[in-house]
Chains A and B, each alone.
Chain A
Amino acid sequence: MKEITASMAGTVWQVLVSEGDEVTAGQTVVILESMKMEIPVEAAEAGNVESIKFASGDFVNEGDVLVTLK
């Protein structure tokens, strides 16, 4: 299982993938909103989206797992 984590603290603004989606390495899966900036979070490696841990509007801290891949 691969985990995609938040690069910094902020609010989840957009979740761009759904469970079961195939993602490629470097693909943006979530956009956070922090310090009034859009913070794209990318998948480091390719995989299939297993679960999404947060929804739009949720606060996440740096290092929190946003999405897991299998």
Chain B
Amino acid sequence: MVAKLENQLKEKIDQIEAGGAQKYHEKNSAQNKMFVRDRLQQLFDNGEYRVEDAKFANNQAGDLPADGVVTAIGKVGGKTVCVMANDSTVKAGSWGARTVEKIIRIQETAMKLKVPMLYLVDSAGARITDQIDMFPNRRGAGKIFYNQVKMSGMVPQVCVLFGPSAAGGAYIPAFCDIVIMVDQNASMYLGSPRMAEKVIGEKVTLEEMGGARMHCSVSGCGDLLASDETEAISEARRYLSYFPGNYKKAAPVVEAAAPRAGRELEEIVPENQNVPFDMYEFIDRLIDEDSFFEMKKLFAQEIITGFGRMDGKPVGIIANQPKVKGGVLFVDSADKAARFITLCDAFSIPLLFLSDVPGFMIGTKVERAGIIRHGAKLIAAMSDVTVPKISVIVRKAYGAGLYAMAGPAFEPDCCLALPTAQIAVMGPEAAVNAVYSNKINEIEDVKERIQFVQQKQQEYKEHIDIYKLASEMIIDDIVSPSSLRSELINRYKFYENKDMVFSERKHPVYPV
């Protein structure tokens, strides 16, 4: 009798764990997609996830194993995490009433345990036939997003997108800290191409409108483009290695490593302020080898945002990239940096600003796009942090670029300058043109005019000389490039105990 019951239970479990019909498994394989349970095995340490609630959800329906979503608790890199993972072999991973309830419950568990929440998304969206039971009610799909907002900054939230994330479902990635998208397969959109054609008359492909590459390079909704599912999962694991389990804990420390060997910092930075160089090479010399994890690499490339480790400890790097668009700040670069700063501050990851910035972009195009309010977002986010914050002027910091990159007025724990640094409202060429434009035009002799301009530029350069700024105590120290890394490691150690409240209030009125 006992054996019979056991067999029956085992049979039921096997059925549920096999997911949907064979043909859907075949369709998955044809698209280079893994079965949901194989994804989970890759995600968890040693492939183990022993705690899975509501596996039997909707088992009475017969053809909806686990109601199309697996919710589990397991370990990733030794840390406990909660996971929800859509099963695309069950009605294309669509959401019914129990699917939604399962997702809400695993979120509630993550909040109670204060552990990271991962969303492995591959879903066609709501089951229209079930809408009354899962769409508008108090514990309907809206609750998932409400919970996500509540959890934001409390625990890390990670989204790995393997397939579609459609309509309302597209807000799951939107509320996560990081969105990893699998090239060719992942997509996000509010209305499908079919709907776009019917409703607004637009003819467009899914890849063009909501594909992974588009979102990672143009819209900025995606943070990391993975070439396949295995890479996506391993990047999610690597991402979490920089983070504590929740906002109360300290970021994890690993064994220290020397930076990658290569050219010295002083060789990398050209003295001529107008000539571009590659900031990636500069970052490589500062951080432990192979410790860089970049966010939004393909989006707004004129600014670099990513995690690195120095002496084994995580640090969030915000660096201008003079190689792309001169390192000028644009609407998208301001958004990208603001978001990254907020992420680091939420989880106690110290910040490092590396400036080589000619300022915010000017001209009709960016003014119409609201560059002022976008820039305000960056300046607000950068001001409003309480983690250790170090500002390094690598080369130039002109105009509001100085402000955006944690200049002296924004209370960095220190503002350091390399000998190549130049801080000013604007560069010498622009300044001389602005101040002496009438006089320059009056000089008729070309030679004389050039001489006058050069002389004024020289005077200006002397006026903004970095030793003069150090003498005025505008910057805290001038550091040689060869000792920058050890200087930073040393300072972060002292700043570890930083404990401050930024401002007394409920919350700021965020610029958006």
**Residues on A facing B (Cβ under 8 Å):** 7-9, 34-40, 61-62
Given contacts A7-B325, A8-B328, contact A36 B274 (CB under 8 A): yes
CB atoms of B276 and A40 under 8 A apart: yes
Within 8 A of A (CB), among B227-284: 273-276
> How far is it, in angstroms, between the C-alpha of A35 and the C-alpha of B358 when the chains are bound?
7
Secondary structure of the B contact surface, majority rule: loop
Residues of A within 8 A of B327 (CB): 37
CB atoms of A8 and B361 under 8 A apart: yes
Residues of B within 8 A of A7 (CB): 324-325
* B462 sits at the interface (CB 8 A): no
Considering the complex, give the chain B residue whose CB is closest to the CB of A39: B326
> How far is it, in angstroms, between the C-alpha of A62 and the C-alpha of B332 when the chains are bound?
14
Given contacts A8-B361, A61-B365, contact A36 B427 (CB under 8 A): yes
Partner of A9, one of B274, B323, B363: B363
Residues of B within 8 A of A37 (CB): 274, 276, 322, 326-328, 358
Number of interface residues of B (CB under 8 A): 22
24 contacts between A and B (CB under 8 A): A7-B324, A8-B325, A8-B330, A8-B361, A9-B365, A34-B326, A35-B326, A35-B328, A35-B358, A35-B362, A36-B274, A36-B430, A37-B274, A37-B276, A37-B327, A37-B328, A37-B358, A38-B274, A38-B276, A38-B326, A39-B276, A39-B325, A39-B326, A62-B365
Considering the complex, give the chain A residue whose CB is closest to the CB of B360: A35
> How far is it, in angstroms, between the C-alpha of A37 and the C-alpha of B327 when the chains are bound?
9
Residues of A within 8 A of B427 (CB): 36
* B359 sits at the interface (CB 8 A): yes
* B429 sits at the interface (CB 8 A): yes
> How far is it, in angstroms, between the C-alpha of A5 and the C-alpha of B359 when the chains are bound?
23
CB atoms of A35 and B359 under 8 A apart: yes
Considering the complex, give the chain A residue whose CB is closest to the CB of B325: A8
Considering the complex, give the chain A residue whose CB is closest to the CB of B329: A35
Residues of B within 8 A of A38 (CB): 274-276, 326
CB < 8 Å A-B pair total: 44
- Report the minimal beta-carbon distance from A67 to chain B, rounded to whole angstroms: 18
Considering the complex, give the chain A residue whose CB is closest to the CB of B327: A37
> How far is it, in angstroms, between the C-alpha of A35 and the C-alpha of B366 when the chains are bound?
13
- Report the minimal beta-carbon distance from B147 to chain A, rounded to whole angstroms: 40
Given A7-B324, A9-B361, A39-B326: 7 more A-B contacts, CB < 8 Å? A7-B325, A9-B363, A9-B365, A35-B328, A36-B429, A38-B274, A39-B325
Residues of B within 8 A of A40 (CB): 276, 323
Residues of A within 8 A of B324 (CB): 7
Residues of A within 8 A of B362 (CB): 35
> How far is it, in angstroms, between the C-alpha of A16 and the C-alpha of B27 when the chains are bound?
50
Interface centre among A7, A37, A39, A62 (most CB of B within 10 A): A37
- Report the minimal beta-carbon distance from B363 to chain A, rounded to whole angstroms: 5
- Report the minimal beta-carbon distance from A62 to chain B, rounded to whole angstroms: 6
> How far is it, in angstroms, between the C-alpha of A38 and the C-alpha of B427 when the chains are bound?
13
> How far is it, in angstroms, between the C-alpha of A35 and the C-alpha of B328 when the chains are bound?
8
Residues of B within 8 A of A61 (CB): 365
Residues of A within 8 A of B274 (CB): 36-38
Residues of B within 8 A of A36 (CB): 273-274, 358, 426-427, 429-430
